[in-house]
């Protein structure tokens, strides 16, 4: 294990060093990718070893950072799951990045991109390995900062800098809250290792426990992108290079989930019912509103970013249901909810990584992310289209792909809520089921739009007409994730027990409940439904085989007739007659007008002689994200006012700063004198 850990560190370090020493060029990009792939593979192997054997890996290095107990790594099964997730996505994203970063040659600093990518992967891998608060926060901050600079790769676009600002502000606010949560816990603990915090947690007063949970929820929720804290996601994800977006959306936001599980379930051991109810409520809100905003997007990567908000919502619903059942002493259902949440975490990493890589290939080929300029790409980029379709089907939860398997488990967990004879639960659970159902349906609609407008019909622009298939290494990255999507959909009975075993010893999960996860995908305790993914897949294959056979028997014509798309008999069809992304979403824009509050601006330019001859029509419609403005406008105003005031202190005079230093020193001395 120790050698695998060293190999992981060495791989990422090699990639980073290669980027610094030899940036750019085919070989340089290859070396950066090789480092990421090696580190990722080693991380995955280490994680699998911990997951399968169950022996935690411990590494102490108190000398490296001698304050606050030094560095301590302890990989238990929960940490290993998330470490494995990073490694699992690092391999395809590293491969993909080798060819993708060619587009930045001469445009952005490849030295910075390559080095930061590897450092980002390294620090992100070490977040779930952390065994004490210092290591955790150190790695967490490393992950946040490196990803911030990665978001800033395309600095030549003005929006990027703004996106980076939002991201940095949100992630640091989150860090401050998480730090506060840890400090609150550490007040009664002997040291800041997670083991001591866990031991000291029962001694905390209920109000302190609630405060810790809320601080952790806000702090880690801002990283995860849960509903009111999601504002940075749709800004930062599209701005980053696509393989970085895939990593950020696929695994980095999952570190928020990890942090919440670590604090809420592991260290605090679960809590009162309203913790779970709060998670379910926030999750349901994120799921529905996230997908509703995604529907209105024409920027392919922004659309995917809003879907991350939706899927994080689904994960939170699963985990919230788990916490809720735990508080009622129903370990079997609690395990089901948690496993569903964790399963969706893995699945979302797969299909969202795949979709971001696919969107990146499209953006790479076209030089734009605007869906209204795409179309007809299935003919020009058939493989990318196939991979994107697999991802789109998975995220829409179509069987037999992985999204279906985990969403089915989430539904089963929620429906199991009828086992609790409590009126408030009887209200929350069906509502959550309804919201989740609405979100899944809308997600399917959204991906009909995303795939249809992007890949089908006639190209809408010259750029789309001249698009070319992605290079081999990018295809390889997507292919790996597409295969994973299918495999995770077909083999939940192999995955569920592993996920169940990660919960062993956390909170009040009992061994008997974990034993249940062995039969989970086929039979859920207390639920009426059964699902067997392999049978489903077999059924689909048989159906697809039987359909042509049946048609043949009915005497259908064997050969098809190829003709034009029916365009009401128009002579010559142009892209202007096609359904646009805006038009596709228009019905929903009307239904949910209260949420979107769209502004419409229609200006028609008539011929001067007669108004029956229209020269041009311009239609503009924007949606008004009022929830975001309601929540963020007043703090932003306050911060701006405070910043103006604070600026007076920053006069730029060296003498003044020396004076500040002396003053601070004196104040500290006085405090030290009088404090005791």
Partner 1 sequence: MRLFSKILQVGLATEPLPPTSHEVVRLLHEVDDRARRLFGRALAIREVDAGSCNGCELEITGLTSPVYDSERFGVHFVASPRHADLLLVTGPVTRNMAVPLVKTYEATPAPKLVVAVGDCSRTCGVFKGGYGVAGSVDQFVPVDAFVDGCPPEPAAILRGILAAVGRR
The CA distances from residue 604 to 613, 616, 628, 638, in Å, are 10, 6, 32, 42
Nearest distance from C-beta of residue 570 to partner 1, angstroms = 7
**Count of residues engaged in binding partner 1, rule: CB under 8 A:** 9
The CA distances from residue 274 to 227, 278, 325, 641, in Å, are 18, 6, 11, 37
Distance CA 480, CA 64 (A): 37
Nearer to partner 1, 158 or 563 (CB): 563
569 lies in the binding site for partner 1 (CB under 8 A): yes
Which range, of 219-227, 562-570, 619-627, 628-636, touches partner 1 by CB under 8 A? 562-570
Which range, of 104-112, 564-572, 589-597, 637-645, touches partner 1 by CB under 8 A? 564-572
Nearer to partner 1, 549 or 562 (CB): 562
Q: Which residues touch 102 (CB under 8 Å, ≥6 apart)?
A: 29, 471
Distance CA 237, CA 397 (A): 23
Distance CA 631, CA 634 (A): 7
Q: Which helix (H) or strand (E) holds 215?
A: helix 206-224
Provide the token pair at 540. Answer: 């689909």
Nearer to partner 1, 421 or 569 (CB): 569
- Of 251, 469, 474, 492, which Cα lies nearest the Cα of 353? 251
Nearer to partner 1, 106 or 569 (CB): 569
Which range, of 104-112, 475-483, 561-569, 654-662, touches partner 1 by CB under 8 A? 561-569
Among residues 26, 508, 570, 607, which is the contact residue for partner 1, using CB under 8 A? 570
Nearest distance from C-beta of residue 564 to partner 1, angstroms = 7
The CA distances from residue 231 to 239, 365, 435, in Å, are 14, 28, 21
Provide the token pair at 188. Answer: 């009664």
571 lies in the binding site for partner 1 (CB under 8 A): yes
Nearer to partner 1, 329 or 572 (CB): 572
Nearer to partner 1, 569 or 652 (CB): 569
Which range, of 397-405, 457-465, 563-571, 621-629, touches partner 1 by CB under 8 A? 563-571
564 lies in the binding site for partner 1 (CB under 8 A): yes
Distance CA 341, CA 321 (A): 9
Which range, of 214-222, 349-357, 524-532, 559-567, touches partner 1 by CB under 8 A? 559-567
Which range, of 104-112, 176-184, 384-392, 557-565, touches partner 1 by CB under 8 A? 557-565
Nearest distance from C-beta of residue 30 to partner 1, angstroms = 52
Angle of CA points 355, 356, 358, to nearest 5°? 60
559 lies in the binding site for partner 1 (CB under 8 A): no
Nearest distance from C-beta of residue 554 to partner 1, angstroms = 10
Distance CA 673, CA 63 (A): 31
644 lies in the binding site for partner 1 (CB under 8 A): no
Among residues 158, 549, 566, 615, which is the contact residue for partner 1, using CB under 8 A? 566
Nearest distance from C-beta of residue 548 to partner 1, angstroms = 18
563 lies in the binding site for partner 1 (CB under 8 A): yes
- Of 542, 254, 251, 551, which Cα lies nearest the Cα of 400? 542
Q: What are phi and psi of 157, to 5 degrees?
A: -100, 130
Among residues 561, 611, 648, 676, which is the contact residue for partner 1, using CB under 8 A? 561
568 lies in the binding site for partner 1 (CB under 8 A): yes
549 lies in the binding site for partner 1 (CB under 8 A): no
Q: Which residues touch 83 (CB under 8 Å, ≥6 apart)?
A: 43, 46, 47, 50, 75, 125, 128, 129
Distance CA 473, CA 355 (A): 16
Nearer to partner 1, 427 or 556 (CB): 556
The residue ranges that bind partner 1 (CB under 8 A) are 557, 561, 563-564, 566, 568-571
């Amino acid at each position: 294990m120790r050698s695998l850990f060293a190999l992981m560190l060495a791989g990422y370090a090699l990639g980073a060093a290669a980027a610094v020493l030899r940036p750019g060029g085919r070989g340089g990009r290859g070396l950066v990718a090789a480092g990421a792939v090696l580190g990722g593979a080693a991380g995955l192997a280490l994680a699998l070893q911990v997951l399968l054997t169950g022996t935690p890996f411990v590494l102490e290095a108190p000398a490296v950072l001698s304050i606050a107990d030094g560095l301590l790594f302890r990989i238990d099964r929960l940490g290993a799951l998330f470490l494995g997730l990073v490694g699992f996505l690092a391999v395809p994203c590293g491969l993909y990045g080798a060819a993708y970063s060619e587009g930045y040659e001469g445009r952005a600093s490849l030295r910075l991109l390559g080095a930061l990518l590897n450092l980002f992967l390294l620090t992100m891998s070490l977040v779930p390995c952390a065994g004490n608060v210092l290591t955790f926060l150190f790695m967490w901050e490393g992950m946040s900062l490196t990803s911030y600079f990665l978001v800033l790769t395309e600095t030549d676009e003005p929006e990027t800098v703004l996106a980076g600002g939002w991201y940095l502000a949100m992630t640091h606010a989150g860090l401050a809250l998480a730090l506060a949560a840890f400090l609150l816990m550490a007040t009664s603990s002997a040291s800041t290792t997670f083991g001591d915090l866990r031991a000291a947690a029962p001694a905390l007063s209920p109000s302190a426990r609630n405060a810790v949970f809320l601080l952790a929820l806000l702090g880690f929720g801002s990283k995860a992108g849960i509903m009111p804290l999601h504002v940075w996601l749709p800004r930062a994800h599209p701005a980053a290079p696509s393989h970085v977006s895939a990593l950020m959306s696929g695994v980095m936001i999952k570190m928020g989930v990890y942090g919440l599980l670590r604090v809420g379930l592991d260290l605090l051991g679960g809590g009162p019912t309203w913790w779970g109810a709060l998670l379910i409520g926030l999750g349901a809100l994120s799921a529905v509103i996230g997908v509703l905003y995604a529907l209105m997007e024409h920027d392919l990567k922004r659309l995917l970013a809003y879907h991350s908000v939706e899927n994080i919502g689904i994960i939170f619903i699963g985990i919230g249901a788990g916490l809720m059942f735990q508080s009622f002493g129903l370990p079997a259902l609690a395990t089901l909810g948690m496993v569903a949440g964790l399963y969706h975490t893995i699945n979302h990493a797969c299909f969202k990584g795949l979709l971001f890589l696919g969107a990146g290939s499209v953006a790479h080929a076209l030089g734009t992310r605007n869906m209204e300029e795409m179309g007809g790409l299935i003919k020009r980029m058939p493989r990318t289209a196939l991979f994107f379709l697999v991802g789109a089907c998975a995220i829409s939860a179509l069987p037999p792909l992985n999204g279906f398997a985990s969403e089915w488990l989430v539904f089963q967990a929620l429906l199991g809520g009828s086992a609790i004879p409590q009126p408030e639960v009887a209200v929350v659970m069906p509502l959550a089921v309804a919201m989740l159902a609405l979100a899944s349906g809308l997600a399917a609609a959204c991906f009909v739009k995303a795939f249809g407008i992007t890949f089908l019909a006639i190209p809408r622009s010259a750029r789309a007409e001249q698009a070319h298939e992605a290079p081999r290494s990018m295809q390889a990255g997507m292919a790996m994730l597409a295969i994973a999507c299918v495999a995770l959909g077909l083999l939940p009975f192999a995955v569920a027990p592993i996920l169940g075993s990660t919960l062993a010893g956390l909170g009040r999960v009992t061994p008997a409940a974990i034993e249940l996860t062995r039969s989970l995908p086929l039979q859920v305790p207390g639920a009426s439904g059964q699902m067997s993914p392999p049978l489903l897949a077999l059924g689909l294959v048989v159906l697809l085989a039987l359909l042509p056979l049946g048609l043949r028997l009915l005497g259908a014509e064997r050969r098809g007739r190829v003709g034009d798309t029916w365009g009401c008999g128009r002579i010559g069809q142009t892209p202007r007659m096609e359904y646009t992304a805006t038009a596709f979403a228009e019905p929903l824009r009307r239904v949910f007008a209260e949420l979107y509050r769209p502004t419409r601006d229609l200006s028609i330019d008539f011929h001067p002689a007669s108004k029956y001859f229209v020269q041009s029509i311009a239609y503009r419609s924007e949606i008004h994200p009022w929830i975001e403005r309601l929540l963020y406008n007043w703090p932003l105003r306050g911060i701006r006012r405070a910043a103006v005031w604070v600026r007076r202190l920053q006069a730029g005079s060296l003498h003044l700063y020396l004076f500040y230093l002396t003053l601070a020193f004196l104040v500290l001395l006085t405090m030290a004198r009088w404090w005791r």
